[in-house]
Structure 1
Amino acid sequence: MLTGVSSPSGLNKTRRLPCQQRRGRLGSTNNRGLKDGMAPMSSREVRDAVHGLIELTDHEWRVVDSPAFQRLRGVQQLPMTHLVYPGARHSRFEHCIGACHLAGRMADRLGLEPREVQRVRAAALVHDVGHGPFSQVGEFIFEELTGQTHVHEKISAAIVRFHTPAGSILDADAEWIAELLTGTGHGAQRSVARDIVSGSADIDKMDYLLRDSYFCGVDYGRFDVDKLIEAARIVHTSEGDHLAYDLDGIFAVESLLLARYHMHRQVYGHRTRVGIDKMLIRAVVSGVHEGLLPRRVFAPENLDAAFVEEYIGWDDHRTLATLAAAPDSRAGDLVRALLKRRLMKSVVKLEVDDDVAAQAIRKPAETLKKEQAAAEHLVAEAAGVDPMWVAMHWDSPQASAKEVSIVDGRTGSIGNFTELSGLFALGGPRPKPSVSVYALPPRGSDAFSVDTLAAIRQAALEALR
C-alpha cells in the first residue's frame, strides 16, 4: 500500500557528494568540510574512461588499496572476450569504482542521510570483490564444482568479514555490507539500499552495460543514465521504503533493459565468446579434478579467514599460467588451445522449428545437465574428435524485462514496469530457444566437411531425443 513518495523538489535540496563538488587536480587530495555535522573528509580523484573524473573519499581509497581489491586488476570483466572484441580488456577493478560512483549519484539524488550514503557507496565499491578468476565464467565453474549459485556474493561477504585490511577499514559497516550483498539479515528485506546495489535496475547493471559497451567498441549497451538517475524516487509502502522510478522516466528504464537485452545477444552471447567460455569452464574444472588447481579455492566448502587469505592470491593470469604449464594434462591442452586461439566453434544450431530440438529445449535444467555429457559423447563420435573438444549449449529464453516499480508523480500511484511499458508489456524481446553444438575442427582446418556437419547434426538430434 502506498503511503508516500519522496518529492523531487525535496531531492534538489540535499547535500552534494564529494564526487559532485569542485574538482581538484588528478591524484590530488582535497580536504573539505561537509554539511550535516560531518567531519572534514579527504578525497582522491580517479580518471575513468566511462564516467570521467571519479572522486573517492579517503575511506574508500583505503579499501581500494587493500590486497583483495587490488587483485581485481587481474580479473577481467569479460574473460578472454578480447579474442572477439580486442578492446575488451577491462577489469572488475574499474567496474567496482564505477559502481561506487553511480551509487553515490543515486544516493545523492534520493537525498539519503550521510551515514546511509557512506554505507551504500561502500557496498557498491566491494560488491564484486569476491569474483574469482574469469569473473562471471567463474560463477559457472563454482556452480559445476559445488552445486551452489550466487557464490561470488558469498565470497564478497567473506572478504568483507575476514580480510583484515578491508574489514578493518569498513569497521562497523562490514557486517551491514556483508548482509546486504548476501541477502541475509537486514539484506533479506527489500530496501532502498538493496535496490540501489542489487535491484532490478541497479547501479551494477548501469555501470557494466556502459563499460562493456565502451570497451567492446559497440553501442548496444548505451542508455540514458542521467535521465534514469534523475527519475529515481523513494516510495513509502506498508512493507517499507524502496526504490522506484518516476513515470516520466519509463523510457530511460526501457533503454536500460533494452541495452541489457542487446548486449546479451550481441556480446555476452556472441557465438565465439560462448565457445571460449565453454573451454574456460572445462579447463578449470578439469584442472581441479586433476589436482592442478586447489579445490579449496575453486570449490570452497568453508568461506572462512583461511579460505579468503588463499583465495585473493588467484586471478586470471595465475590460473591460466598454472594450467598452461601442465604437461600431459587435458586442462593444459584446453588452455594452450585458447592461448593460440584454436577455439571450439558453433558448427550446428537447432532451434524450436525442429520438433525434437523444441522438446529437448523445454526439458528441466537438471535433466539437461544430466543428459549433456552423454549427448556430447554421441556428437563427438560423429565428429571424429575427443569428447573434450565438443560442448553443447542451451540458449533458453530469459525474460528481458525486470519488475521495476514505477510511480506516477501526479497521482502517487505505484505500478509495475511491465504493466506500464508499451515496449515490454508482453515480456519484451526474447530470443528463440536453441541448442548449439560447439566443436574444435581438426588440426590444420577451420571447418568440418559438409558430410561431417550432417553427421554431427544427426547425432545431435539423436542425443536430444
Structure 2
Amino acid sequence: MIEKVFRDPVHNYIPVDDELIYKLINTKEFQRLRRIKQLGSSSFTFHGAEHSRFSHCLGVYYLARRVTAIFDKKYADIWDSSESLLTMVAALLHDIGHGAYSHSFERLFDTDHEAVTQDIILNAETEVNHVLSQFSPDFPEKVASVINHTYSNKQVEQLISSQIDVDRMDYLLRDSYFTGASYGRFDLSRILRVIRPLDNGIAFSIDGMHAVEDYIISRYQMYMQVYFHPASRAMEVLLQNLLKRAKYLYPKEKEFFAITSPHLIPFLENKVTLEDYLSLDDGVMNTYFQSWMQSTDKILSDLASRFINRKVFKSVTFDEGSSSELKDMRELIYALGFDPEYYTAVHLNFDLPYDVYKPDVKNPRTQIEMLQEDGQIAELSTLSALVHTLSGTIHGDRRFYFPKEMLIQDDLFIDIKEKFACHIKNRQLHKTQIQDK
C-alpha cells in the first residue's frame, strides 16, 4: 500500500505502510477512541489535556514499530521477525476497550476496559475482528492473548505490558506535552538505542542505565504531580457521585432517563452488551449531564451543574486512623444541608513506582533487567541507588472531599481544614502522651 502519514505533536510523523494496520485504524471501534479523552477528568485541571485515546494508541503503535524495526535489523538471531506485525497490532489495539471517563465509569458500573478490549478483538460482530480474521483466522486469538498476558513469547508481551513498555513510554511523553508539565520527559532516543530482546523477555544495555533511571523518575513525578492532582480527583469524585445519584433515581424516574440519557439505561439496568458499551463516549455523557441539569431532583441537577461548570470539591488529606474524624465531618456537612452520600467522598490514590519480580504476589511485576558488559543480567535496583530508593515503596495519599461552600458557610465561618487538622493533631498528641507514659 502507499504509505500514509499521521502528523503527531509528540513523535512528529507516524507512518503507516501496512494494510492491516491502516484497516484497523479505520474501523469504527478504533475511530471511537477519538471521542475518549486520554486523561478523563484531568482536562479540568490541565486545560491542554484534551488529547484522545486515539492519538495515544497511534503513538504506542509507532513506538512498537520503531522497536521491532531495531530488533529485526540488529537481533535477528534472537528475535523472530514474524512477531513484529503482531506486536504492532497489539500496541495499536491495547486500549481500544476504554470507555467514557473510563476509570470513574468502571468503578461504578463494574466494567473492565481490558476485558472489553479482548471482547472487541474476539467478537465476530466487530469490524476489528473482521479485519483481523481476514488476515488470519487465528490472529484475533493471538492479539487477545498478548493483551491478557498469556501469549507464549514474553518478548512481545513485555514490549506491550511491563514496567518499561511502549504504552508507558508514549503516555508519559504525550501526557507531559499536553498537560504542559515537564515531569514526564525522558530520553526516549537513548532508551530505544539500548533496548534489546532476551530469550524470555527484554532488557537494556548497562550503558543506558541513566536513561532508564530518568524514565522511572519521570513516571513517578507524573503520578505525584499530574495523575494524582487533587483537583482532577475532585472532578472524578463529582462524576462518580453524579452517576451514583442517577443509579439511585433510575427505578423511580425511568421515563426521565429514557428521554435524557437513553444509551445509559443498559448500565443502569445492568444488562450491557458490547454494542451498548461502544455507544457511549465522553461527548455523549457530557450531553446527558447537561440534560440532567434540568432535573427536578435537586441533587442530580446540582451535581450535574457542578461537573459541567467545574465547581470542584475541596479536600483534606487524612491517615488510616481518622475514621472518627471523617464521621464528624460528614455529620457537620449533613447539618449544613448537604447529603454526605453525594457531597463527600474518600478517594485513595497510591502508586508503586517500581518493584522487583515477586512471584508470590497476586499481580507480579516484570522487573527491569540490565545487560552488563560481561553478558550477565542484573535487576535494575541492584545497580541504581536511585531506583533502589523507590523500589517497593508505595506513594500517594488519602483525601476526604467535600463541597467548597463548607469552607465558609454563610455566617458560620466554619473552616473544615482547621477543624480536621485539630482532630488529627489531638489524636496524635494523645498517642504521644500514651507512649510517654
Q: Are 2:351 and 1:391 aligned?
A: no
* Alignment match, 1:313: 279
**d(CA) in 2 for partners of 1:51 and 1:424?**
27
Distance 1:382 1:228, change over 3 A: farther
Q: Are 2:53 and 1:92 aligned?
A: yes
Distance 1:402 1:101, change over 3 A: farther
Question: SS at the partner of 1:131?
Answer: coil
Pairing of 1:196-345 with structure 2 (within 5 A): 196-236=159-199, 241-291=200-250, 292=257, 294=264, 296-297=266-267, 307-326=273-292, 327-329=295-297, 330-345=299-314
User: How many pairs align?
Assistant: 391
Q: In structure 1, which of residues 126, 141, 164 is the aligned counterpart of residue 126 of structure 2?
A: 164
**d(CA) in 1 for partners of 2:194 and 2:268?**
41
Structure 1 residue 249, shift from structure 2 partner: 1.5
Distance 1:73 1:331, change over 3 A: farther
Query: TM-score of the superposition, structure 2-length normalised?
Result: 0.80
Structure 1 residue 446, shift from structure 2 partner: 9.9
Distance 1:433 1:315, change over 3 A: closer
* Alignment match, 1:180: 146
Pairing of 1:66-105 with structure 2 (within 5 A): 66-105=27-66
* Alignment match, 1:435: 398
Question: SS at the partner of 1:168?
Answer: helix
* Alignment match, 1:115: 82
* Unaligned runs of at least 5 residues, structure 1: 1-40, 351-356, 361-367
Structure 1 residue 66, shift from structure 2 partner: 1.0
Distance 1:432 1:444, change over 3 A: closer
* Alignment match, 2:384: 421
**d(CA) in 1 for partners of 2:118 and 2:154?**
18
Structure 1 residue 386, shift from structure 2 partner: 2.5
Structure 1 residue 433, shift from structure 2 partner: 5.5
Task: Determine which structure has the larger helix proportion and give its number.
Answer: 2
Kept after mapping to 2: 8 A contact 1:393/1:438: yes
Structure 1 residue 417, shift from structure 2 partner: 1.4
Q: In structure 1, which of residues 131, 135, 138 is the aligned counterpart of residue 98 of structure 2?
A: 131
Question: SS at the partner of 2:14?
Answer: strand
Structure 1 residue 287, shift from structure 2 partner: 2.8
Deviates more, 1:272-281 or 1:288-297: 288-297
* Alignment match, 2:369: 406
**d(CA) in 2 for partners of 1:202 and 1:299?**
38
Distance 1:320 1:373, change over 3 A: farther
**d(CA) in 2 for partners of 1:444 and 1:410?**
60
Question: SS at the partner of 1:214?
Answer: helix
**d(CA) in 2 for partners of 1:372 and 1:297?**
35
**d(CA) in 2 for partners of 1:70 and 1:413?**
45
Kept after mapping to 1: 8 A contact 2:196/2:203: yes
Query: TM-score of the superposition, structure 1-length normalised?
Result: 0.75
Per-residue deviation, residues 244-269 of structure 1 (Å, max 9, x unmatched): 11111211111111111111111111
**d(CA) in 1 for partners of 2:40 and 2:283?**
11
* Alignment match, 1:30: none
Distance 1:196 1:441, change over 3 A: same
Per-residue deviation, residues 139-197 of structure 1 (Å, max 9, x unmatched): 34323433x7xx111101101112431111112321111121123xx43x570111011
Kept after mapping to 1: 8 A contact 2:202/2:369: no
**d(CA) in 2 for partners of 1:200 and 1:117?**
20
Q: Which amino acid aligns with 1:166?
A: V
Q: Which amino acid aligns with 1:390?
A: T
Distance 1:345 1:297, change over 3 A: same
**d(CA) in 2 for partners of 1:233 and 1:254?**
17
Kept after mapping to 1: 8 A contact 2:408/2:414: no
Q: Are 2:158 and 1:195 aligned?
A: yes
Q: In structure 1, which of residues 368, 375, 380 is the aligned counterpart of residue 333 of structure 2?
A: 380
Distance 1:74 1:251, change over 3 A: same
Pairing of 1:136-151 with structure 2 (within 5 A): 138-146=102-110, 151=112
**d(CA) in 1 for partners of 2:380 and 2:153?**
17
Question: SS at the partner of 1:392?
Answer: strand
Q: Which amino acid aligns with 2:317?
A: K
Per-residue deviation, residues 304-354 of structure 1 (Å, max 9, x unmatched): xxx2222211101111211331213444432221211211012x223xxxx
Structure 1 residue 382, shift from structure 2 partner: 6.6
Structure 1 residue 229, shift from structure 2 partner: 1.4
**d(CA) in 1 for partners of 2:182 and 2:376?**
34
Structure 1 residue 423, shift from structure 2 partner: 0.4
Structure 1 residue 378, shift from structure 2 partner: 3.7
Question: SS at the partner of 1:423?
Answer: helix
Structure 1 residue 443, shift from structure 2 partner: 9.0
Deviates more, 1:171-180 or 1:420-429: 420-429
Distance 1:377 1:316, change over 3 A: same
Structure 1 residue 399, shift from structure 2 partner: 2.3
Kept after mapping to 2: 8 A contact 1:43/1:58: no
Deviates more, 1:212-221 or 1:330-339: 330-339
Structure 1 residue 435, shift from structure 2 partner: 2.9
* Unaligned runs of at least 5 residues, structure 2: 73-78, 251-256, 357-366, 432-437
Pairing of 1:39-58 with structure 2 (within 5 A): 41-56=1-16, 57-58=18-19
Kept after mapping to 1: 8 A contact 2:216/2:387: no
Distance 1:210 1:434, change over 3 A: closer
Structure 1 residue 451, shift from structure 2 partner: 4.2
* Alignment match, 2:418: 454
Structure 1 residue 455, shift from structure 2 partner: 3.7
Structure 1 residue 50, shift from structure 2 partner: 0.4
Distance 1:453 1:427, change over 3 A: closer
**d(CA) in 2 for partners of 1:446 and 1:95?**
43
